[in-house]
Structure formats: structure tokens, C-alpha cells
């Protein structure tokens, strides 16, 4: 059999495999993948993952099918003699095609990822001056996330700098999370909301999230921060607007005595350099 | 055999122990440690006790202890003799202790024969690879249960850090150390490396580094993982000093290894060995060595800054005093990303070197493969902030880093294309080294594809810092580096050790490793997606079944490594079946030499008239040369 | 010992230009490594300066003595010039080399004196950290380089007294002359490059 016939058969197998597998991956597997639809940003990540999977499935299949085909078709059947294959050292057409196709894929992926990210910030931490803002970011609810060894606390500057031990967010609202740390580097990971932002001492790292309906979400520290890093997790809640107002009011009452002794709200806090220990 | 008259050492055994050798090195190393420790205690003043130290340890004395210990160790091995002679004006020489016969003793002292250094490397690194592997087994033991703990949280993090540091630090040299030192001279047609003493130095420094890392357990361990992020490092116990000492020495060793390899390849190629005839493995060594030479100094500088922060009160990484943790992250990853390719690139070279032999075809797309390797090497300096997508550093630059990171898949794709072109219409033989190369193809494909998700910011927000990224880099490093390492051992082992490996055990080793490897790391992608962060000692109860599956699979990897060790002992020690000089019918130069390779490799230098892949054509014969002790 | 092995007649000697060229290439490669090492400090300088974290780039009055910096830089430059001159004046290698070595050590001594008389300490902010770290490791590697210079001077001195040795190492013919001049060239090139880094350090740390 000659090159062309081998190649035709190979392409046929690949096409068949891709046509079956890609829709399955994109439409069946991908929509169910984490982080789910807990927020606009989380849903965006699910869509993004589906696109990436849709592109990478045929690519991976191409390599796999090729290898399986070639290894079976060109295996040495005669083990007794050592015979050589044809001394082919390259094929400029194939090389050029490969270069063009892979470049196109890479440029598409980079462009798509950038556009997706710029659309709503994708829930990632963007430092003190974010450029990727979701619509309605100007009127966002400001919430400060303060990480320290080994817990998170939260401050609501629009409610008098109230500091609480629990995170509650109103539903259907744009929230700007200002993530910072009092000691070492932590990372605030609100899993179902699709939010992750590193907490650095002295840095105001802003991540946007647009909440959807009521939801309980997991918060976990995602950057190694010392001995009890593994235990730095808790739950947060997205609740209806009215419930949120009630909760804030109740928290203000509860923490009123402590509030007076707190340092004033600031976008960054600097740990005392003499006290490196936690 | 050898062209050089070898005088047998007839001294009694105990006499032979005295002199410049490993034993003296260890003794002087301990003496040096004690001296450094005392000096440190003398320097350590109340004014330097500015920062409270939780472990009650004195960082200065520990770091000086390591420094003087290493110096003592090297003096004991005999590394100071030549520099002192040079200080007194004696002319330069190129080698030391090369001609001391064929005994085992030369493996335990400073020896500048590139073949001896290679064997030292493979055994020495092997021991520490085992340590790193055992750490991994212990980590997986701990993770069998979310809430019943075998280890304390601190012990667990120390295990994680040691495993990571051992595998990412010392294993940077696991292919270049043994195989580049052994092969590059033979492949390009020279008898030695350009700087043989530096070659030996890189090995012994690595051994000192490995021991230093292990000593962390006496000083409270370290809690920072292999990345050693500040300011967590600043509050770390004295065990973190071991991390600094380890990684800084690794950096020196890496830098000098790359330096030596580059100098050798640039200047000492035999007649006719032009750049376009260089075996592709040597090209991968060039690409790696450039990264080692240039990236490792940055690591050393970064760690020295961390050491100054801990001892001399500077504030490079301490925000309250004008430093920045971002500075550490930037500097570390400017080194750290090239470092990832230092680990991956030699594997590319091995795969492309072996595929032609077992497909009986020339390497397909030689220039493309070279361009791919050099391209990866160059691009790897421009992608480091993809480790910091959610850190808040230069968020505006993320589209650039997304693009540059994904661009690396172009040159990496060339490697795949060349592999695919090479096997096309070949006459493929499924030998053990070939199986490991094919294993690389599968693993690295998955590693590469999963990398796309981490390089893409929206997707990275969830996967970053989770078990997903952990699975990704194990697919590229363990699936890439370790599989090609075994390919190299099974392929060149018969030449290096002169014995044949047991084929059945080798095949059991491959299949059990391949299956257990995938069964271990594929579920970790799922665990990451399900929300399990890295380096945690506990996890949600609903993730236990998956974690147990992973742990059991990891133990099977451990068993598979035991099969390998049994194979080694059986083939190298017990059976010792002499190997065919060219069992794979390879056409490259190293296989044309007798087994074992004689002391001085060649009597006359080879003259090359083509690259080492003349399959499918009638070749006039192997390169013209006379092997040592041959006809000449 | 290494030089005692008699080269068997039928062993083809190694091309004699290999090792001198390896020294030439090696010196350039080392320059690359040194550049990347100090690049970390250059980066730290500009990064911390631009961030000015906690308004602590300079805490209190952090002023470096310009005169000291200038003196160190001048000593280094003169040293490099002398050593470079030595490569083209084989008969004056010892004299010029001793001068270069003396100036290199003088620079280090001046640096040490500067540290002990500084008006600020390492904890005085980002600038102080970079200043201390950079100069400290610059001095350490300057001492190492001084060792290298010393070996060149000592070898030249001994070969003038005792004559140039035949290269007896297995597989290499000829005498040491080429190797010695290549070694001196490599050493002087690296030292000149290293001094250039020192001048950059002077400009960044004292002038900018
Ligand atoms: Cu944390």
C-alpha cells in the first residue's frame, strides 16, 4: 500500500473518531464540568472549558489515532532480519501545513481566552487596578477578604467597615472582592463562584463576581500558607437581597462592641516586619 | 584492553581508605560543619536577633555550617589540591585520577573520566530519586484518609516540600548528569569534557546538596513546598535553611553542568561533526544547557536574597520594610519556568534519538526538531507570569503571557511532528526503550493538552493551585522525564554497564509503570476540578474514594520501581550476562565502540561524513576511527 | 597522578586548539551566567523602587557615600585595563597582573570599609536591601575572580622562572604556551566583563 492510501485511511479513522467524540465531549461532558453555574464568572469558565475541550479533542485524537495506526500498520513482522525503512528525511508540504494549522489553533486559543477574560474578569484576581470589569462594576458591592494564618475574615466598607467571620453575598449583584493578607501569601478560592485571587500582604487584589441565585459555596485557601493550610476552608453563602440586608444588620449589632477597637478600613494592611511569625 | 599501562594498587584495604576520597570527604564535611556552626554562633549577636525565631535556632550558624561542611567535603574529596597547585603557579592539567585502573575505588573519589562520572551520577542521583519517591509514597499514605492522620501537618508539608525539591531540584540533572556526560563526548567524537574537573565537581556538589536537603528533618522541616515562597519562608523554621542550601548548591551544579556541556559541544567536535550532523540528543543537550547556564544563576541570587532576609535583616521580600513577596515570585519563576523545560527538553532528545533506531528510518525533519528545541528554550524565558495569573501581578499583561505560553506548544508540536514523521512507514520494533518512548508520547500529549487549560486565564482561575495543575506537571515531568529516563537506561545501559537487562522484568516494569502512572495521575485532574487544592493534609470526605484510588495506584508505581530495582540487581550484580556491543543495530557512533567502552574511548578520532541516522541507505561504514586498543 | 601517564604512541593526540578554544568559549559563557546572576539584583532594584511598598523604599536618611563608590569603580576599571593589557604583553604579564590583582583586592577592601561606615543598615528599606545584597555578592565573586587572576600571575611567574612545560597529559601534544595565553585571555575577558557589571552597579546604586 502506498503513502496516499495509508494517509487516506488514517484521515478517515480520525474524522470518524472526531465526529463522534467531539460533540460528546462538548455537549455532554463539558456542561456538567466544574465550577458549575454558581455565578456569571463560573458559567463563563464552563463555556470556556467547553471551547478548549472542543479544540483539543480532535487534536489529541489526531496524534493518538496516528500513532495507533502507524504502530500497527508499520510494525516489524519479520523479527529475524534487521531491515531498514525508506530513508525519508522530511516533507516540506507536511511541515508547512502543520506549522500553519498549529499556529492558527494557538492564535485562536490565545485570542479567545483574552476576549473571554476581558469580558467579565473570569473571577480571577486582577490586582489593584482591574481592566477586565463586568458590566455594572461601578456599582459593585465592595467586600474585603482578609486572609491570615489560618482563617479568612471579611469587611464590608459600605457598612461602616464592618468585619465579620462569615461571608454572605446578595444574589444577582456585582461584587468586587478586595483580597488581601495580613501575613503570608494565601489564595482566596470560592469554588462554586469560580473566583480565585491571591491574598498578598499589602496588596489590594480585586476579583469581580456576578452572583446568581442563592447558593452555598466552599471557600478554600489555594496557596500554601504554613502548617495549617489544609484546614483553611469554610463555607460562604449567596442569599436573597432582603435576607442579606437582614444579615448585615444583625452582624452590625453583633460586632458593634468589637468594631470600635478595629483598625480603620484600608485597602492594604502591612504586617509588622519584626513579627515574621504567625 | 586499555592503551595505558595500569598499575594495580596492592596496598592493604585499610590503607586505601586513607587519602582523598569519599570517606575523608565525609569526615572533613562534618568537621567543616562544626567549624561553621561555631563561627555562626560567634557572629550571632542580640542585635541580629531582630526577628524572633520560633524554633530557637540560629539561621546564621546553620547556613555557615552547611557552607563550611560542603567546603570540607570537597577538600576531603581532593577538589582543593589542584586549585592550590594553581595558586602556586603550577601549569594547568586536564584530568585527575583517570588512570587508576578499573577498580570500584574510582567511583568513590574525584575521578575525571567522563564515563566514571556518568556512572557516579546515575547511582548517586538514583539514591536521591528513591528518597523523593519514598516521600511520594508517604504523602499518598497520609492522603488515604481525610481525617485520620499518619503524619502531623508539619511533617506532611515537609514531606511534600522534600518530594518537590528533590524531584524538581536534583532531577534537573537526572538525564544530563549521567547521559550527557557519558554520551556527548562519544557522540561528537572527543575523549573528555572541556573541563573534566568541573564535570566531577557538579556531581559531588549534587550529592552534598541532597544530603543537606535531608537534614531539614533535624531542624523542624520546611513548610513552603518546593517553591519556597516568601514571606512564608521568612517565618519558616530553621529547616528552611536546608532548602536554601540545597537549592543554591543545585543551582551552582546546574549552571556549571550547562556551562561545561556547552563549552564541550561548541569547541570539541571531531572532524566532520558539523552542527547539522549533531545527533538530535546533543541538540537537546545544547538547548537544555543554555537554560541551565542562564536560569540557574537567577535561582542562586533569589535564594541568597532569601538567606539575607533570614540572617542579615535585609527586606527583599518583606512588605513592611519596603520589600515585596511579588519580587520573590517573579524571580523564582523567571528561573522556574525555564527549569521546567530543563527537565523536559532532554526527554525530547532521547525520544527523537531512539525512534529512528527502532523505526529503522532517519530522523524525520531534523531541522524542524532542532528549531523546536531551541524555540522551546528561548520562549521559556518569556512565560513565567502564567504561574501568577491570579496573583494580582501585572494583570494587564495576562493576554501576553497567555499568548507566549500557548506559543510554546508550537515548537513542542514540532517534536511531535518529527516523531510522527519518523515512524511513518518505518519497520517498528517494540523493544523496551521503544515502549518507554511511546509511553512518553502518550503522557506528554495529555500533559500538553492539560497545559492548555492552565495557560488559559478563565480556565486557570479554577484549575490554578489545585490538584489539576499537580496532575498536569506530573504528566509532563514524571510522564515525560521519568519515562525517557528509563528509555535511556534500557537503551544505553547495556553499553554503559556492559550487561544485558532481563527482558521480561523490563517489560513488566514498563507496563506496570505505564498503567499505574496513568491510573494515579488521571484521577488527579478530576480531584482538582472537584476543588481539592494542592498541598493539603486534609480534604472533604466525599473525595476519599478517588483519593484512595490514587493512593493505591501510587503504591503500584512503587511496586513497579521495585521491579526495576530487582531487574537492576539481577542483571547488573547476579546474572551479568555480557551485552552485545550493538544490540539495537544502531548506526550512531557510541554503538560502534567495544563494550565496555575502553578507558580512552578512541585511539584515533572519528571522522564524520554524515549524521548518525543513515538508515535505509548503504552506508560506506561506520565513521572512520580506531576504537581504543583496536587495530591502531 | 594526572601527568604521569605516558601517552602511548598509537593514540592520536587531541587537536591542540581544542582546550584554548574551550577556555575562550568558557569565559564568554561564564559572563552570561554572571550577567543573569546580577540581573536578579537589577530587577530587584527597579521593581522595589517602582513599587515603593509601604513607602519604605528608603526608610529614614539612606545616603550612600558617593566617593567610596567612585573609588571602588575606578579601582576596578583600572584593574581590568591592566589585566587586559597583559594579554598583549607576554613579557610584562607578572608586573601588570600583580597590579591588576592589587587593584581588585583594593576595591574589595574599600567595599568592606564602606560597609562598616555606612549610615544605614540592611533593614532600612528596599534600597538598603538591594545595596547590601548586591555589593556583598559582588565582593564575594570579586574575591573569587581575584583568585583566578592570581593563578594566571603565578603561572606566568613560574613559567618564566622554570620554562614552559611540555604538555604531558595523555593525548595532547605541544607545550603549555598556548594554554597559558588562552587562560590569561579568558581570565582577563571575564574580569573585564565583571568589572563592567561593577560599573553598572555603581551607576545604578550611587548615581541613579
Ligand atoms: Cu492560607
The 3-state DSSP class for residue C119 equals coil
Nearest alpha-carbon partner for B491 in B416, B440, B558: B440
C115 contacts in B (CB within 8 Å)? none
Distances (CA, A) of C138 to A139, B621, C187: 52, 54, 17
Among chain A residues, the shortest Cα distance to B452 is held by A52
The reply to whether omega before A35 is within 30° of 0 (cis) is yes
**C122 Cα to chain A: minimum distance (Å):** 13
Distance B479 CA to ligand 1 centre (A): 30
| Mean pLDDT, chain B, whole residue set | 89
Q: What is the pLDDT of residue B48?
A: 52
- Give the integer Cα–Cα distance in Å for A162 and A167: 12
Q: Chain C within 8 Å of B294 (Cβ-Cβ)?
A: yes
Asked if residue B578 and residue B509 are part of one domain, the reply reads yes
Do A44 and A194 meet the contact criterion of CB atoms below 8 Å apart?
yes
In this predicted structure, the answer to whether residue A278 has a pLDDT above a threshold of 50 is no
Among chain C residues, the shortest Cα distance to B331 is held by C40
Do A122 and A132 meet the contact criterion of CB atoms below 8 Å apart?
yes
Contacts of A197 (CB under 8 A, 6+ apart): A124, A125, A126, A145, A177, A179, A187, A188, A205, A206, A207, B390, B392
Is residue B626 in a domain?
no
Distance B300 CA to ligand 1 centre (A): 27
In this predicted structure, the answer to whether residue B523 has a pLDDT above a threshold of 50 is yes
Cα atoms found within 13 Å of the Cα of residue B262, Cβ hemisphere only: 25
Strands A162-164, A151-156: pairing is: antiparallel
Contacts of A188 (CB under 8 A, 6+ apart): A125, A145, A147, A152, A177, A179, A195, A196, A197, A198, A199, A207, A219, A221, A222
Q: What is the pLDDT of residue B236?
A: 79
Residue A265 has a CB neighbour count (10 Å cut-off) of 17
Q: Quick check: A202 and C123 CB within 8 A?
A: no
Contacts of B436 (CB under 8 A, 6+ apart): B483, B484, B486, B487, B490, B510
Asked if residue B407 and residue B269 are part of one domain, the reply reads yes
**B268 Cα to chain C: minimum distance (Å):** 6
Query: Which residue, chain included where needed, has cell 537567577?
Result: B298
Q: Chain A within 8 Å of B585 (Cβ-Cβ)?
A: yes
Torsion of CA B521, B523, B524, B530, to 10 degrees: 170
| Mean pLDDT, chain A, whole residue set | 90
Average confidence (pLDDT) over B116-135: 93
- Give the integer Cα–Cα distance in Å for B297 and B301: 6
- Give the integer Cα–Cα distance in Å for A135 and A113: 18
Do A73 and A228 meet the contact criterion of CB atoms below 8 Å apart?
no
Asked if residue B363 and residue B215 are part of one domain, the reply reads yes
Q: Which of A79, A90, A277 sits opposite B364 (nearest CB)?
A: A90
Nearest alpha-carbon partner for B349 in B404, B428, B289, B430: B289
B425 contacts in A (CB within 8 Å)? 3, 6, 74, 85-86, 88
Q: What is the pLDDT of residue B2?
A: 37
Q: pLDDT tens digits for chain C (208 residues)?
A: 333 344 455 778 888 888 889 999 999 999 999 999 999 999 999 999 998 888 888 888 888 889 999 999 999 999 999 999 999 988 889 999 999 999 999 999 999 999 998 888 888 889 999 999 999 999 999 999 999 999 999 999 988 888 877 765 555 666 778 888 899 999 999 999 999 999 999 999 998 8
Distance A152 CA to ligand 1 centre (A): 8
Q: Which of C13, C32, C36 to mutate to test the interface with B (most CBs of B within 10 A)?
A: C36
What secondary structure letter does DSSP report for A136? T
Among chain A residues, the shortest Cα distance to B50 is held by A274
Return the minimum-mean-pLDDT range out of A77-81, B244-248, B577-581: A77-81
- Give the integer Cα–Cα distance in Å for B317 and B325: 5
Is residue B177 in a domain?
yes
- Give the integer Cα–Cα distance in Å for A194 and A202: 24
- Give the integer Cα–Cα distance in Å for A164 and A154: 5
Average confidence (pLDDT) over B410-419: 95
- For B63, the domain range is 19-84
Counting as contact any 3 or more CB pairs under 8 A, the partners of B are A, C
Distances (CA, A) of A167 to A203, A215, A218, A224, B166: 20, 12, 10, 22, 39
CATH number at residue B344: 1.20.210.10
Q: Which of A128, A202, A204, A269 to mutate to test the interface with C (most CBs of C within 10 A)?
A: A202
Counting as contact any 3 or more CB pairs under 8 A, the partners of A are B, C
Q: Which of B98, B263, B315 sits opposite C129 (nearest CB)?
A: B315
Q: Quick check: A273 and C123 CB within 8 A?
A: yes
Q: Which of B82, B310, B314, B631 to mutate to test the interface with C (most CBs of C within 10 A)?
A: B314
- Give the integer Cα–Cα distance in Å for A138 and A141: 9
- Give the integer Cα–Cα distance in Å for C10 and B61: 55
- pLDDT tens for B601-610 read 888 888 888 8
Residue B262 has a CB neighbour count (10 Å cut-off) of 23
Counting as contact any 3 or more CB pairs under 8 A, the partners of C are A, B
pLDDT band at A263 (very low <50, low <70, confident <90, very high): confident
DSSP one-letter string for B52-106: --TT---HHHHHHHHHHHHHHHHHHHTTTHHHHHHHTTPPP---SS--S-SSGGG
Q: Chain B within 8 Å of A145 (Cβ-Cβ)?
A: no
Strands A205-210, A195-199: pairing is: unpaired
With pLDDT > 90 as the criterion, what percentage of chain B qualifies? 67
B367 contacts in A (CB within 8 Å)? 90
Q: Which of C51, C159, C165 sits opposite B324 (nearest CB)?
A: C51
Among chain A residues, the shortest Cα distance to B310 is held by A276
Cα-only R_g, chain A: 26
Domain boundary among the residues B84, B100, B120 is at: B84
Distance C192 CA to ligand 1 centre (A): 48
Asked if residue B546 and residue B421 are part of one domain, the reply reads yes
Give the total number of structural domains in chain B.
2
Q: Quick check: B533 and A221 CB within 8 A?
A: yes
DSSP one-letter string for C18-32: HHHHHHHHHHHHHHH
Note the pTM of the prediction, 2 decimals: 0.93
Asked if residue B302 and residue B241 are part of one domain, the reply reads yes
Q: Chain C within 8 Å of B507 (Cβ-Cβ)?
A: no
Q: Provide the grid cell at B293.
A: 547556564
Distance C59 CA to ligand 1 centre (A): 30
Q: Quick check: A270 and C123 CB within 8 A?
A: no
Q: Residue B444, by phi and psi: left (phi above 0), alpha (psi -120 to 50) or beta? A: alpha
Is residue B7 in a domain?
no
- pLDDT tens for A35-89 read 999 999 999 999 999 999 999 999 999 999 999 999 999 998 888 878 888 888 8
Distance A262 CA to ligand 1 centre (A): 22
Q: Chain A within 8 Å of B452 (Cβ-Cβ)?
A: yes
Domain boundary among the residues B36, B67, B84 is at: B84
**B272 Cα to chain A: minimum distance (Å):** 20
Asked if residue B116 and residue B58 are part of one domain, the reply reads no
Asked if residue B64 and residue B172 are part of one domain, the reply reads no
H-run or E-run covering A251: helix A241-259
Do B385 and B401 meet the contact criterion of CB atoms below 8 Å apart?
yes
Residue C22: alpha-carbon gap to chain centroid: 18
**C52 Cα to chain B: minimum distance (Å):** 6
pLDDT band at A221 (very low <50, low <70, confident <90, very high): very high
Asked if residue B76 and residue B120 are part of one domain, the reply reads no
Q: Residue B223, by phi and psi: left (phi above 0), alpha (psi -120 to 50) or beta? A: alpha
Q: Quick check: C53 and A202 CB within 8 A?
A: yes
The reply to whether omega before B177 is within 30° of 0 (cis) is no
Q: What is the pLDDT of residue B10?
A: 64
Average confidence (pLDDT) over B493-501: 92
**A140 Cα to chain B: minimum distance (Å):** 19
Asked if residue B435 and residue B517 are part of one domain, the reply reads yes
Among chain A residues, the shortest Cα distance to B462 is held by A194
A202 contacts in C (CB within 8 Å)? 53-54
**A178 Cα to chain C: minimum distance (Å):** 18
Is residue B512 in a domain?
yes
- Give the integer Cα–Cα distance in Å for B454 and B63: 37
What secondary structure letter does DSSP report for B360? T
Among chain A residues, the shortest Cα distance to B434 is held by A71
* Dihedral over Cα of A256, A258, A260, A265: its sign: negative
Asked if residue B77 and residue B141 are part of one domain, the reply reads no
Q: What is the pLDDT of residue B488?
A: 95
Q: Residue B89, by phi and psi: left (phi above 0), alpha (psi -120 to 50) or beta? A: left
Strands A174-181, A141-148: pairing is: parallel
Among chain C residues, the shortest Cα distance to B291 is held by C33
Asked if residue B292 and residue B400 are part of one domain, the reply reads yes
Asked if residue B41 and residue B157 are part of one domain, the reply reads no
A121 contacts in B (CB within 8 Å)? none
HEC readout, B517-586 = HHHHHHHHHHHHHCCCECCCCCCCHHHHHHHHHHHHHHHHHHHHHHHHHHHHHHHHHHHCCECCCCCCCC
Q: Provide the grid cell at B253.
A: 551544579
Is residue B106 in a domain?
no
Is residue B13 in a domain?
no
Q: Chain B within 8 Å of A104 (Cβ-Cβ)?
A: no
Q: Quick check: B91 and C180 CB within 8 A?
A: yes
- Give the integer Cα–Cα distance in Å for C108 and C146: 10
B321 contacts in C (CB within 8 Å)? 54, 56, 59, 123, 125-126, 129
Q: Chain B within 8 Å of A56 (Cβ-Cβ)?
A: yes
Is residue B530 in a domain?
yes
Average confidence (pLDDT) over A238-265: 90
B191 contacts in C (CB within 8 Å)? 14, 171
Among chain B residues, the shortest Cα distance to A205 is held by B392
Strands A186-190, A215-221: pairing is: antiparallel
Map out the domains of chain C with their CATH numbers: 22-52+66-207 (1.20.120.80)
Amino acid at each position: 500500500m502506498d503513502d496516499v492510501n495509508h494517509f487516506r485511511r488514517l484521515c478517515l479513522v480520525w474524522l470518524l473518531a472526531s465526529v463522534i467524540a467531539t460533540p460528546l465531549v462538548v455537549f455532554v461532558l463539558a456542561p456538567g464540568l466544574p465550577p458549575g453555574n454558581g455565578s456569571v464568572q463560573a458559567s463563563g469558565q464552563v463555556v470556556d472549558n467547553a471551547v478548549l475541550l472542543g479544540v483539543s479533542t480532535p487534536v489529541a485524537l489526531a496524534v493518538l489515532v496516528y500513532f495507533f495506526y502507524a504502530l500497527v500498520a508499520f510494525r516489524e513482522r519479520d523479527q529475524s532480519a534487521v531491515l531498514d525503512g525508506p530513508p525519508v528525511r522530511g516533507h516540506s508540504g507536511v511541515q508547512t501545513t502543520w506549522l500553519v494549522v498549529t499556529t492558527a489553533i494557538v492564535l485562536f486559543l490565545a485570542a479567545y481566552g483574552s476576549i473571554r477574560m476581558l469580558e467579565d474578569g473570569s473571577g480571577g484576581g486582577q490586582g489593584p487596578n482591574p481592566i477586565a470589569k463586568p458590566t455594572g462594576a461601578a456599582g459593585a458591592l465592595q467586600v474585603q477578604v482578609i486572609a491570615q494564618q489560618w482563617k479568612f475574615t471579611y469587611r464590608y466598607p459600605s457598612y461602616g467597615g464592618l468585619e465579620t467571620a462569615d461571608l454572605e453575598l446578595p444574589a444577582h449583584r456585582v461584587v468586587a472582592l478586595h483580597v488581601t493578607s495580613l501575613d503570608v501569601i494565601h489564595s482566596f478560592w470560592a469554588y462554586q463562584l469560580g473566583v480565585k485571587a491571591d491574598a498578598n500582604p499589602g496588596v489590594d487584589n480585586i476579583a469581580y463576581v456576578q452572583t446568581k441565585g442563592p447558593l452555598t459555596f466552599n471557600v478554600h485557601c489555594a496557596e500554601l500558607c504554613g502548617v495549617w493550610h489544609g484546614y483553611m476552608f469554610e463555607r460562604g453563602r449567596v442569599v436573597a437581597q432582603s435576607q442579606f440586608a437582614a444579615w448585615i444588620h444583625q452582624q452590625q449589632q453583633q460586632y458593634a462592641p468589637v468594631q470600635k477597637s478595629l483598625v480603620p478600613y484600608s485597602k492594604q494592611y502591612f504586617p509588622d516586619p519584626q513579627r515574621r511569625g504567625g | 584492553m586499555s592503551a595505558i599501562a595500569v598499575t594495580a594498587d596492592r596496598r592493604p584495604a585499610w590503607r586505601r581508605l586513607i587519602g582523598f576520597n569519599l570517606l575523608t570527604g565525609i569526615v572533613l564535611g562534618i568537621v567543616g560543619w562544626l567549624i561553621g556552626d561555631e563561627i555562626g554562633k560567634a557572629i550571632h549577636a542580640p542585635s541580629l536577633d531582630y526577628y524572633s525565631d520560633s524554633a530557637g535556632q540560629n539561621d546564621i550558624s546553620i547556613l555557615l555550617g552547611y557552607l563550611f561542611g560542603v567546603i570540607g567535603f570537597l577538600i576531603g574529596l581532593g577538589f582543593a589540591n589542584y586549585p592550590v597547585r594553581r595558586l602556586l603557579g603550577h601549569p594547568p592539567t586536564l584530568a585527575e585520577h583517570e588512570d587508576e585502573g578499573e577498580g570500584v575505588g574510582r567511583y568513590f573519589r574525584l575521578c575525571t573520566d567522563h564515563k566514571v562520572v556518568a556512572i557516579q551520577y546515575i547511582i548517586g542521583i538514583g539514591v536521591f530519586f528513591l528518597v523523593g519517591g519514598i516521600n511520594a509514597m508517604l504523602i499518598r499514605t497520609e492522603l488515604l484518609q481525610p481525617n485520620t492522620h499518619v503524619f502531623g501537618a508539619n511533617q506532611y508539608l515537609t514531606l511534600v516540600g522534600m518530594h518537590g525539591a528533590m524531584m524538581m531540584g536534583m532531577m534537573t540533572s537526572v538525564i544530563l548528569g549521567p547521559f550527557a556526560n557519558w554520551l556527548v563526548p562519544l557522540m561528537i567524537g572527543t575523549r573528555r569534557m572541556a573541563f573534566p574537573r568541573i564535570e566531577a565537581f557538579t556531581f559531588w556538589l549534587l550529592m552534598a546538596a541532597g544530603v543537606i536537603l535531608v537534614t531539614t528533618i533535624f531542624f523542624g522541616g520546611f513548610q513552603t513546598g518546593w517553591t519556597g515562597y516568601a514571606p512564608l519562608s521568612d517565618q519558616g523554621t530553621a529547616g528552611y535553611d536546608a532548602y536554601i542550601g540545597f537549592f543554591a548548591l543545585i543551582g551552582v551544579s546546574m549552571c556549571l553542568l550547562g556551562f561545561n556541556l556547552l563549552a564541550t559541544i561548541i569547541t570539541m567536535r571531531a572532524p566532520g561533526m558539523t552542527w547539522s550532523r549533531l545527533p538530535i540528543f546533543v541538540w537537546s543537550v545544547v538547548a537544555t544547557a543554555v537554560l541551565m547556564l542562564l536560569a540557574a544563576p537567577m535561582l542562586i541570587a533569589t535564594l541568597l536574597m532569601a538567606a539575607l532576609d533570614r540572617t542579615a535583616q535585609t527586606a527583599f521580600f518583606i512588605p513592611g520594610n519596603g520589600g515585596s513577596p511579588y519580587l520573590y515570585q517573579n524571580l523564582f519563576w523567571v528561573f522556574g519556568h525555564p527549569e521546567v523545560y530543563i527537565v523536559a527538553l532532554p526527554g525530547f532528545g532521547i525520544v527523537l534519538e531512539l525512534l529512528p533506531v527502532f523505526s529503522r528510518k532517519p530522523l524525520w525533519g531534523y531541522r524542524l526538531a532542532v528549531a523546536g528545541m531551541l524555540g522551546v528554550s528561548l520562549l521559556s524565558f518569556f512565560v513565567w507570569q502564567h504561574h501568577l495569573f491570579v496573583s494580582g501581578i501585572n494583570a494587564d499583561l495576562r493576554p501576553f503571557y497567555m499568548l507566549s505560553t500557548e506559543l510554546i506548544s508550537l515548537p513542542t508540536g514540532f517534536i511531535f511532528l518529527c516523531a510522527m514523521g519518523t515512524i511513518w512507514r518505518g519497520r517498528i520494533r517494540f523493544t523496551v526503550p521503544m515502549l518507554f518512548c511511546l509511553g512518553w508520547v502518550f503522557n506528554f500529549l495529555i500533559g500538553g493538552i492539560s497545559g492548555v487549560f492552565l495557560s488559559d486565564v478563565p480556565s486557570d482561575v479554577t484549575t490554578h493551585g489545585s490538584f489539576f495543575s499537580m496532575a498536569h506537571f506530573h504528566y509532563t515531568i514524571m510522564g515525560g522525564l521519568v519515562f525517557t529516563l528509563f528509555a535511556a537506561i534500557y537503551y544505553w545501559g547495556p553499553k554503559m554497564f556492559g550487561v544485558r537487562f532481563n527482558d521480561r522484568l523490563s517489560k513488566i516494569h514498563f507496563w506496570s509503570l505505564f498503567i499505574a502512572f496513568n491510573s494515579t495521575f488521571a484521577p488527579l485532574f478530576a480531584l482538582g476540578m472537584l476543588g481539592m487544592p494542592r498541598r493539603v493534609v486534609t480534604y472533604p470526605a466525599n473525595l476519599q474514594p478517588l483519593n484512595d484510588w490514587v493512593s493505591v495506584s501510587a503504591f503500584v508505581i512503587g511496586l513497579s520501581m521495585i521491579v526495576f530495582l530487582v531487574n537492576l540487581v539481577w542483571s547488573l550484580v547476579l546474572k551479568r550476562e555480557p551485552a552485545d556491543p550493538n544490540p539495537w543495530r544502531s548506526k550512531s557512533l557510541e554503538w560502534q565502540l567495544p563494550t565496555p567502552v575502553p578507558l580512552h574511548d578512541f585511539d584515533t578520532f572519528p571522522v564524520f561524513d554524515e549524521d548518525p541516522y543513515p538508515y535505509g541507505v548503504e552506508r560506506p561504514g561506520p565513521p572512520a576511527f580506531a576504537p581504543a586498543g583496536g587495530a591502531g | 597522578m594526572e601527568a604521569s601517564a605516558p601517552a602511548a604512541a598509537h593514540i592520536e593526540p587531541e587537536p591542540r586548539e581544542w582546550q584554548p578554544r574551550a577556555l575562550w568559549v568558557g569565559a564568554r559563557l561564564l559572563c552570561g551566567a554572571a550577567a543573569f546572576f546580577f540581573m536578579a539584583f537589577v530587577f530587584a532594584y527597579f521593581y522595589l523602587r517602582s513599587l515603593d511598598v509601604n513607602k519604605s523604599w528608603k526608610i529614614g536618611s539612606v545616603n550612600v557615600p558617593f566617593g567610596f563608590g567612585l573609588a571602588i569603580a575606578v579601582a576596578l576599571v583600572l584593574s581590568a585595563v591592566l589585566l587586559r593589557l597583559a594579554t598583549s604583553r607576554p613579557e610584562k604579564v607578572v608586573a601588570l597582573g600583580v597590579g591588576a590583582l592589587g587593584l581588585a583586592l583594593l576595591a574589595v577592601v574599600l567595599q568592606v570599609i564602606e560597609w562598616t561606615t555606612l549610615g544605614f543598615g540592611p533593614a532600612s528599606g528596599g534600597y538598603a536591601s538591594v545595596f547590601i545584597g548586591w555589593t556583598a555578592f559582588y565582593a564575594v565573586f570579586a574575591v573569587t575572580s581575584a583568585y583566578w587572576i592570581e593563578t594566571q600571575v603565578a603561572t606566568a611567574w613560574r613559567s618564566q622562572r622554570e620554562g614552559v612545560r611540555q604538555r604531558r597529559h595523555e593525548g595532547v601534544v605541544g607545550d603549555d604556551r598556548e594554554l597559558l595565553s588562552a587562560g590569561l585571555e579568558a581570565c582577563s575577558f571575564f574580569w573585564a566583563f565583571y568589572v563592567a557589571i561593577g560599573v553598572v552597579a555603581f551607576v545604578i546604586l550611587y548615581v541613579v
